[in-house]
Structure 1
Amino acid sequence: MIKQIAPVITIDGPTASGKGTIASRVARHLGWDVLDSGALYRLTALDVLRTGGQADDVEGVAEIARNLDVNFREGRILLRGEDVTEAIREEAVGNLASRIASYPPVREALLQRQRDFLRPPGLVADGRDMGTVIFPDAPLKIFLVATAEARAERRYKQLKEKGFPVKMTDLLEDMRARDERDSNRASAPLVAAPDAITIDSSHLSIDQTVEMVLDLWSKSSI
């Protein structure tokens, strides 16, 4: 059992399901902190790429994860003092992050760092194993899903708005490959916790999804 020093809501789900946006909105409404756990894996992947590390060197990647010089400041993400908020969202970084997230030593290296984000007044944590591994005693666990097509379309719009050259067919193919990899990895696979509540956001707006989560929290904390 993990010692709960503050309330926590976990939001897990596949890539581009909208969990990061929903977590941020819910946290802002409640006045809580937010943990984008995927950012830690993306930061590790970015550091591997930038330092010339070998993606197949499991222990080497784990060492990079253990020694990440990262700060989350006012909505921005700094790696060794450099703002990499946008850089970690590139598809190459995301694909490598999904790959190295299957390495048990990397997950172990980032385990306590994630739990250290929990402090008063509360935390909304999004990722793939927040409710199953990192915060298994969370009073509210959400498993946010959407069809691969809906998620690929969302990611396409996000990347186009940021000026990245992308193709919908490539995104959909990558999306399905990452779903397969995340769901079938040996360490902390992407699955809903037994007590998680599944929300399908394929046809919901951001506001509607946020409202559902807040309503569920209100009912669970009565």
Structure 2
Amino acid sequence: MGINVALDGPSGAGKSTIAKAVAKKLEYVYVDTGAMYRSIAYYVISKGADLSDPEQIKPLLGEISIKLCYTEAGQRVMLNDEDVSDKIRTPEISMGASKVSAIPEVREFLLELQKNIAKENNIIMDGRDIGTVVLPNADVKIFLTAAPEARAERRFKELQEKGDKSTYDEVLQDIIQRDYNDTHREIAPLKKADDAVEVDSTELTLEESVEAIYKVITDKTKKKSVR
């Protein structure tokens, strides 16, 4: 079994960007669980189903195949053999992912896939409940957070670069709403694992955040190897 790193935290904390960079530095596999939930939301929306109605969503799960492919350009997300990596990075899909992730059957559908990837590789897996539910025995658990305003500013700049017309206030409200949804859902709510190391990136640059996460992982894995 490989070394498993669980990286949890709220929307917009920079988990994906930082996890990718650290995984590359450590030569680990990066597993973006958020992309999996986004892919399901994208498919549900494309079928015209109601994101708030589990009874409309559950029958669609049997039609879905999600694969994470690793290329020279980085990780690509394949939904039924279609590359949806860019299509799933919109505010609408982000909010949709928050809704479908509250459905038990959706979480069960993805849980086995996530656990199998972790068994076979040295991985960094990011999400909302990795350290608490998906990989409760992970070698390293980290909770990455930042103030809502800082997260909104980063997401707003990212969307602007993609030509998205969302305003900063709209992005901030989406962040606040998603925080509420993720922490108040009945199934596997967002929370810091008791044995997780918290890293606050509010005042950190991307490079500083990467170094902070890298240091936590290397320090923890060195201590384990010494025992």
TM-score interval (norm. to shorter): over 0.9
> Compared with structure 1, are the counterparts of its residues 187 and 172 closer, same or farther at alpha carbon in structure 2 (3 Å cutoff)?
same
**What is the TM-score when the length of structure 2 is the normalising length?**
0.91
Q: Which amino acid aligns with 2:57?
A: V
Does structure 1 conserve the Cα–Cα contact (< 8 Å) formed by 2:152 and 2:172? yes
* Higher alpha-carbon deviation: 5-14 or 100-109: 100-109
Give the aligned partner of residue 105 of structure 1.
Answer: 105
**Aligned match of 1:58 in 34, 44, 54?**
54
Does structure 2 conserve the Cα–Cα contact (< 8 Å) formed by 1:62 and 1:109? no
> Compared with structure 1, are the counterparts of its residues 183 and 66 closer, same or farther at alpha carbon in structure 2 (3 Å cutoff)?
farther
Shift of 1:71: 2.6
* Higher alpha-carbon deviation: 154-163 or 210-219: 210-219
Does structure 2 conserve the Cα–Cα contact (< 8 Å) formed by 1:100 and 1:106? yes
Give the aligned partner of residue 21 of structure 1.
Answer: 17
What does the per-residue CA deviation read over 1:150-198, in whole Å, with 9 as the maximum and x for residues that have no partner? Answer: 0000000000101111101111111101101101111000000000011
Give the aligned partner of residue 188 of structure 1.
Answer: 188
Determine helix, strand or coil for the equivalent of 1:87: coil
Output the CA distance in 2 between the equivalents of 1:49 and 1:191.
28
Determine helix, strand or coil for the equivalent of 2:113: helix
Does structure 1 conserve the Cα–Cα contact (< 8 Å) formed by 2:18 and 2:210? yes
Does structure 2 conserve the Cα–Cα contact (< 8 Å) formed by 1:142 and 1:197? yes
Cα RMSD, aligned residues only: 1.4
- Which runs of no fewer than 5 residues in structure 2 stay unpaired? 223-227
Q: Which amino acid aligns with 1:102?
A: A
Output the CA distance in 2 between the equivalents of 1:113 and 1:72.
10
Does structure 1 conserve the Cα–Cα contact (< 8 Å) formed by 2:52 and 2:99? no
Shift of 1:66: 4.9
Does structure 2 conserve the Cα–Cα contact (< 8 Å) formed by 1:145 and 1:202? yes
- Which runs of no fewer than 5 residues in structure 1 stay unpaired? none
Output the CA distance in 2 between the equivalents of 1:208 and 1:215.
10
Shift of 1:119: 4.3
Q: Does 1:158 align with 2:158?
A: yes
Give the aligned partner of residue 48 of structure 1.
Answer: 44
Output the CA distance in 1 between the equivalents of 2:176 and 2:151.
10
Shift of 1:103: 1.3
Give the aligned partner of residue 65 of structure 2.
Answer: 69
